[in-house]
Amino acid sequence: MSSVGSMLGLLLASRARLVGGREGRFWLVGAAIAIGGTGIWTMHFIAMMGFSVTGSVIRYDVPLTAASAIIAIVFVAIGLFVASHGGDRLGYLLGGGILTGSGVAAMHYLGMAAMNMPGQAVFDPVLVSLSVLIAVAAATVALWFALRVSGALRIGGAALVMGVAVSGMHYTGMFSMSVRPHAEMGPMTGARPIDFLLPLIVGISVITVGLLLAVVLSPSEKELRSEAEFRRRERGRDEGVPEVDLFGTPRR
């Protein structure tokens, strides 16, 4: 799921670079939803469903779980817009990576805080710090890919790298936690993990299909490049700039 969401997000980000302007911002929003929603949060929650404590029942606080999803999408969007605004400037890329990575780490630990169980969670500060560093590094690499990578093979390879990095951050964070069960088990409030499964499948399917249709029905990368070249030539003619051939000789 992490790699699929990352691949879709990179496709949308490549369209944003080509079209630019106001339309490009809409493509960046779609990229943030794909990367933050599917590539990061969905992977996170599916992995959380695989977590258990022997002899204990785990329930999830619904508002906190929903808030963690919103945080993931919003911070990925902020990082994409910051890095995109900075272009090739390294400071903007690093700033966007730090913001996005911090948001991803906040999403992860907020999602863990949403777990209600008859026990006390204890965290290893060294592993927590390591997971945050991995999140920042993964976010910075993801933004670099989003602003530069194009072509199916390159996007596919970049998506695999992003999927491994995001999953690595998640499981490092989970490894930092140990649970000390309470002697008495009281009633647990919240939703069961399986209660999220159907809305998750339906929601992600609708969003993914919608974003894929937007990519498929929009002009191809080749068509967009041809249109941009045509507009550049038209502006040159309007400004009286002579069109030249490959050797710099003005065309007649």
**Residue 153 to residue 164: CA distance in whole angstroms:** 17
Whether the per-residue pLDDT at 220 is higher than 50: the answer is yes
Q: What is the pLDDT of residue 130?
A: 95
**241: three-class secondary structure by DSSP:** coil
How confident is the model over 66-84, as pLDDT tens digits? 899 899 999 999 999 998 8
H/E run at residue 93:
helix 90-113
**Residue 58 to residue 116: CA distance in whole angstroms:** 6
Residue 236 Cα to chain centre, angstroms: 38
CA-closest candidate to residue 9, choices 68, 72, 65: 72
**Is the pTM above the cut of 0.85?**
no
Residue with the bigger pLDDT between 53 and 220: it is 53
One-letter amino acid at 4 equals V
How confident is the model over 32-59, as pLDDT tens digits? 999 998 889 988 888 888 888 887 788 8
Confidence of residue 224 (pLDDT cuts 50, 70, 90): low
**60: three-class secondary structure by DSSP:** strand
Confidence of residue 208 (pLDDT cuts 50, 70, 90): confident
Q: What is the pLDDT of residue 214?
A: 77
Cβ–Cβ < 8 Å for 142, 35:
yes
Structure tokens at 229: 């070249």
